[in-house]
Amino acid sequence: MNDAKRLLQLVQIGRRDLSLDEEDYRALLEGVTGQRSAKGLKAAQLEAVLTAMKGIGFKPKAKSPAKGRQMSPPSHARVKAPEVRKLRAIWITMAQDGFVRDGSEDALASYAKRITTTHNNGAGVASLEWLTSAQASRVLESLKKWHVRLMTDAIIERGDPVPDTLSYRHDAKPGYDLIRDAYENPGRRPPRIMVLDGNKAIDELNNKAQ
């Protein structure tokens, strides 16, 4: 068995052990490799996926000589808030970017507990499995803002321009996806023009207002 095939089998075992549903699994793959399918990934990419899986609780087990191998129980129960899968994807991405030292599920849970403390009568939610959708949304917005700040600092540090917002509001800031795109594409000049009424660009309107 070649190395890539063996690693692909481990990735599939990790998916089962972590009880990752389709969206969680695809989000993890995309966050680590940029691809939403493990088919065709190289050995190095599969190794990176396994590293991410280990960070959220996957513990590969040595093969047992016994004929009837019993699968270990899932490391994590399914969560009830759909926003958690996005939380996990961003947290893993931040770890891959080097913005957080610990990309594990426990580290993300600790962050979520800290954020939910002020909105849960002083008692933070200790597990991602217990987050309601409203609580998970608050944690997600906090995490995205933190990630945006870190990516913006990195963009500025390498000397690239920070993209302008594509909103008509004067106080609006560039969104998460716009900053992520600029961060992932060093040297590419971000978009600065937005058509508002079909024939006038935002730069023209700003000049007229001055």
Tokens 């692909």 belong to 8
42 domain residue, yes or no = yes
Per-residue pLDDT at 54: 84
103 domain residue, yes or no = no
- Residue 121 per-residue DSSP state: T
Tokens of 153: 């600092």
Phi, psi torsion values for 131, nearest 5 degrees: -65, 135
For residue 202, which of 182, 160, 172, 180 has the smallest C-alpha distance? 172
- Domain carrying residue 27: 1-60
Cβ of 17: how many Cβ atoms within 10 Å?
Answer: 20
Longest CA span, the chain? 79
**Which residues, 6+ apart, have CB-to-CB distance to 197 below 8 Å?**
none
Q: Looking at the 3D structure of the chain, how many domains does it have?
A: 1
Output the CA torsion 59→63→66→68 (10° steps): 60
201 domain residue, yes or no = no
Task: Tell me how far apart the alpha carbons of residues 107 and 36 are, in angstroms, rounded to a whole number.
Answer: 24
Mean pLDDT of 142-163: 89
187 domain residue, yes or no = no
Per-residue pLDDT at 120: 66
For residue 138, which of 151, 122, 119 has the smallest C-alpha distance? 119
Tens digit of pLDDT for each residue in 62-118?
Answer: 444 344 333 323 344 455 788 888 899 899 988 888 888 888 888 898 999 999 987
132 domain residue, yes or no = no
For residue 88, which of 37, 51, 128 has the smallest C-alpha distance? 128
Tens digit of pLDDT for each residue in 122-145?
Answer: 678 888 888 889 999 999 999 999
